[in-house]
Chain A
Amino acid sequence: MFREMTRRAFLARLAGGVALTAFAPYAMRMAFAQNATTPDLAPATVPAVQPDPENVLRKTIPSTGGNIPAIGLGSWITFNVGNDTALRDECAAVMAAFLDEGGIMIDSSPMYGSAQDVIGYGLARLGLPKSVFSADKVWISGGDNGPGQISDSLKKWGVAQFDLLQVHNLLSWQDHLPILQRMKADGQLRYVGITTSHGRRSDDLADIMRREPLDFIQITYNPQDRMAEQQLLPLAQDRGIAVIINRPFQGGRLTEYLAGKPVPDFAADIGAQSWAQLILKFIISHPAVTCAIPATTRVNHVRENVRAAHGPMPDAALRARIAKAVAEA
């Protein structure tokens, strides 16, 4: 994560910097004549352990009985890098590592700026891997605009059809759901879903879950946001709806807060080596959860995240201890 220097350090350097000003035009000319610097992120260290896709926990999609790995990949912010080739290549490297580890579900939306284009770029670079489970969204007012947006999204991804299309944040869901159901019936789509986050409009979502034949819902759930345990997760189980979990790290706030704090000893009992893995294990071990979709810009993080789906999962008692440990850290 980018760190701004402290104001004091800024002012101290400013004093010296002003003296440089006379030479600035020359220095700028010299600097601009070179290519843009390549990203200053040191190449992420790859864990020494070899990927073990066979060992990744897979969970069932109730509507079809199929199954998918319990960790997917989000793309909000992290993959919105515009046309910056160096950053696009970094995203492609994250996707490559994700697939290498045995992950398959990649989630995006027309709302995520250039993220869909960047996923398309990555997929093309990786030779359009067949294993990918493409999960995208429709996010536009009015049903008439839905099909156009979906075909734009398909072009951006560079795929012929999506595995899952979700109505993003319930926007115009009454219009979009019938269209998605029709696409599914026509064989142009495998699964239909709907999303929300931050616990917004939970009651509306519950109503829709009761009335509509959904394959997936996507909601927020993590040791700090447990509202879904009250209503949505049990309802999903009841109705046989698969559940994707967004914001597993509260958009990164949780991992940032926990960074440097000692990981509890009991983490070793379930093979978790970091807070991130502990949190992901907490999430995917909930019986109603099908998969979590953490987003990342880093190869080592994506490997760490998929590997959270290896090994033993916490039982109810251990899940309670994880939530307590996160709250008290």
Chain B
Amino acid sequence: MSEWWSYSLSDLLMFSPRVYYRLFEGFNTAFWLPNLVLLACGIVFALLVWRRIGLAGRLVPGMLAIMWAWVAWGFLWRYYTPVNLAAPWMVGLFAVQVGVLIGHAVRPKDLVFAWRGDFSSFVGAGMLFAAIVVWPLAAPLSGRAWQGAELFGSAPDPTIIGTLGMILLARGTWRWTLLPVPVAWCLISSATLWVMDQDIAWVMLVVAWLSVLGGWMDQKNGVTRGRLP
């Protein structure tokens, strides 16, 4: 098409907010068990990242890889693709992140998760809280059905927010490789929510900005260069 420049973002939105939110209702209703199990795992693992625990460096990226794969196949592929022609590309983006997460889970020098008390730790903790507690409440608080709650571990936005929270609580080399895909998703999601007239759109932008800022501050402070002593 030769006139893409003349399209505004809202011209490209091909579904209504009502259809979008009902996707989560259908998804949660059909797959309530895996979605709740993944949420429970997410809560347990969110508790693991506070103190330095030996296996967390492998288990957390491994669990996040499973979550991302589930979001990609369970939600994006099965539910989002029929209403959004761009969804297959998003599945590709998620597949890349699954690869990166698996890489971190198996690499010899794994990441170390621990509370450091710095800016990134606070932001990371806040994001985990937002992903696990606040985001799912948005559905019922906005007058939508409980069944439509977007859950950490199965719905894209809270999974991305929680992933970024965990990354900010991690330390180790190559940690930055985990950032580009979630940050890119934040921008995509924010644009989608924005054209759907959803106030919550700004949250994803703030999440992206805080993640990049936290990553940059850690870089400056030497947090990402090595493991904790």
Contacts and interface: CB of A to CB of B under 8 A. Distances in A.
Verify that A and B bind, or say they do not.
Answer: yes
Interface of A: 1-2, 4-7, 10, 13-14, 17-18, 20-21, 24-25, 27-29, 31-37, 39-40, 76-78, 80-84, 87, 111-114, 117, 169, 171, 198, 200-201, 297
5 contacts: A18-B137, A31-B147, A36-B29, A111-B85, A113-B15
Nearest to A171: B1
B141 A13 contact: yes
Given A2-B196, A24-B136, A77-B13, 17 more contacts: A2-B18, A6-B199, A10-B138, A17-B141, A25-B40, A31-B146, A32-B32, A33-B32, A36-B29, A36-B147, A37-B145, A76-B14, A84-B22, A84-B26, A111-B85, A113-B83, A117-B82
B91 to A, nearest CB: 15
B147 A82 contact: no
Contacts of A10: 138, 141-142, 199
Nearest to A40: B145
Contacts of B102: none
A84 B19 contact: yes
B25 interface: yes
A121 B21 CA distance: 22
Which of A113, A200, A201 has the largest number of chain B CB atoms within 10 A?
A: A113
Contact of B25 (A4, A37, A114): A37
A200 B11 CA distance: 13
A5 B14 CA distance: 22
Nearest to A2: B17
B226 interface: no
Contacts of A84: 19, 22-23, 26
A37 B147 CA distance: 8
A83 B82 contact: yes
Contacts of B19: 80-82, 84, 87
A200 B199 contact: no
A112 B84 CA distance: 9
Contacts, number: 124
A229 B137 CA distance: 50
Given A2-B17, A4-B197, A14 B141 contact: yes
A173 to B, nearest CB: 11
Looking at B19, B140, B147, B151, which has the most chain A CB atoms within 10 Å of its CB? B19
Interface string B22-39: 110110110010011001
B130 to A, nearest CB: 11
B29 A32 contact: yes
A81 B83 contact: yes
Contacts of A114: 82-83
The 10 closest A-B pairs by CB, nearest first: A32-B32, A31-B146, A82-B82, A2-B17, A36-B29, A82-B83, A37-B145, A114-B82, A13-B141, A36-B25
A18 B146 CA distance: 14
A4 B199 contact: yes
A78 B141 contact: no
A113 B141 contact: no
Contacts of A2: 16-18, 21, 196-197
Contact of B147 (A18, A32, A198): A32
A275 to B, nearest CB: 21
Most interface-central of A1, A4, A77 (chain B CB within 10 A): A4
A10 B135 CA distance: 12
Which of B15, B17, B39, B198 gathers most chain A CB within 10 Å?
B15
Nearest to B6: A200
Contacts of B17: 2, 4
B200 to A, nearest CB: 8
B1 A28 contact: no
Nearest to B146: A31
